[in-house]
Chains A and B, each alone.
Chain A
Amino acid sequence: KAGVTQTPRYLIKTRGQQVTLSCSPISGHRSVSWYQQTPGQGLQFLFEYFSETQRNKGNFPGRFSGRQFSNSRSEMNVSTLELGDSALYLCASSPGLAAYNEQFFGPGTRLTVL
């Protein structure tokens, strides 16, 4: 079974631009979560989607948004990029409720904002 895939793996953008990251979960998994990892803050939860519905959202500004498609693939968008948005963005998938299921992470997208 293929693992979680994320595209692109690396991105370089400039301040003020916007970016879209993509995540394809493990086949059959319906929940997708997104996390931001930085050296200073560690891993922080962005949002979680299940069956195209956002169920949970972390404490990030409205510039961070996401969506999930009917095939469970998910995208996250960051608008008006700031230098502090430079980070490794990770997505995780699980079959259903995280309370009962292991979460599996993708390799991440490394975003650099200049």
Chain B
Amino acid sequence: KQEVTQIPAALSVPEGENLVLNCSFTDSAIYNLQWFRQDPGKGLTSLLLIQSSQREQTSGRLNASLDKSSGRSTLYIAASQPGDSATYLCAVLQGGSEKLVFGKGMKLTVNP
């Protein structure tokens, strides 16, 4: 059974820091991995999608990497801003299904 872990569960940093968010998964038979952010009481906003054959994807200040063999992904946020404060979730698409398996998320607070 696929399990996705995000540690730590919460992080508070001052504005301007470069951040690394971690995600690990137990079964490497995945089709892809997607990073989302969720603002309080809202739905999920897709940040980056990495296919299983890819090593990384970039969008603006965000860069996500994937090491499928070791079951790890990282989301790098450059020069963090207070507007980056949200909960960040990673999810893997399990091979042979249309089902995303989510981590519990990491709540990020960026202080001005």
Contact = CB atoms under 8 A, between A and B. Distances in A.
Interface in B91-112: 91, 93, 97-105
Given A48-B98, A56-B97, A99 B43 contact: no
- Say whether chain A's binding surface is mostly helix, strand, loop, or mixed: strand
A2 B32 CA distance: 25
Interface residues of B, number: 24
Given A42-B105, A98-B93, A103 B99 contact: no
A104 to B, nearest CB: 6
B34 interface: yes
B93 to A, nearest CB: 5
Contacts of A99: 31-32, 93, 98
B49 A102 contact: yes
A90 B44 contact: yes
Interface string A78-111: 0000000000001010000111101111111010
Contacts of A22: none
B80 to A, nearest CB: 23
B98 A42 contact: no
A107 B99 contact: no
Interface residues of A, number: 27
A31 interface: yes
Interface string B8-41: 0000000000000000000000011010100001
Contacts of B41: 110
Contact of A105 (B46, B49, B98, B104): B46
B42 A33 contact: no
Given A56-B97, A97-B98, A98-B93, 18 more contacts: A33-B98, A35-B100, A42-B104, A43-B89, A50-B98, A90-B43, A92-B100, A98-B31, A99-B32, A102-B46, A103-B34, A103-B46, A104-B46, A105-B44, A105-B45, A107-B42, A108-B42, A108-B43
15 contacts: A33-B98, A35-B100, A42-B102, A42-B105, A45-B99, A45-B100, A48-B98, A90-B44, A92-B44, A98-B31, A98-B100, A105-B45, A105-B46, A107-B43, A108-B43
